[in-house]
Every structure is written in structure tokens, then in C-alpha cells.
Amino acid sequence: MQVLLFGITKEIINQDVLIIPTSENIKDVGELKAYLKQKYPDLSRLSSLGVAVNSVYAKEDVLIGSSDELALIPPVSGG
């Protein structure tokens, strides 16, 4: 499973792309976020952490598979 990283998530994980082994058996967005926050505790300090599945913001219960394009969307500010 491949996860694209942007902004502060890229800095926390220190990579542009994170490869998660299929042996982790992550089935949905909620499990992905829990896995990442456990492996990279600094992600828990973010005010929000969105996940896009195939370029669409996804809720926690959205199923994911190895062929999906996944991206972590960090909090943004501006106006």
C-alpha cells in the first residue's frame, strides 16, 4: 500500500511516499490513520489529518485496497 505525503506529514515521516506492507492488513481509512499515528506519534499532534482515496476526501469507514491512491492531507491555514 502506497501513501502520498504532503506538508507537515512529509516532514514528520521524512519521506514523500510511504510504503505500508500488505501484511499490516489495513482495511479502511480509520485503520490506516490508527496505524500511522501509532507508528509516527507526532501525527497525533496535528489538529486534523485527512485522507484522500483516489483523489477524494474519505471518511473513516471508507474501504481501501492496495490499488487505491492514498494521500495524507495535513491541516492547512490561510485565507
The domains of the chain are located at 2-73
Give pLDDT tens digits for 1-44.
Answer: 999 999 999 999 999 999 999 889 999 999 999 999 999 999 99
| pLDDT single digits (tens) 39-76 | 999 999 999 999 999 999 999 999 999 899 999 998 87
Task: Could you please state the CATH topology (level 3) that the domain comprising 2-73 is classified under.
Answer: Ubiquitin-like (UB roll) (3.10.20)
Give the three-state DSSP class for 4. Answer: strand
Question: Which residue has cell 489538529?
Answer: 47
Candidates 26, 4, 23, 22; CA nearest to 13 is 4
Nearest-CA neighbor of 11 among 47, 48, 40, 54? 40
What is the predicted pLDDT for the residue at 76? 75
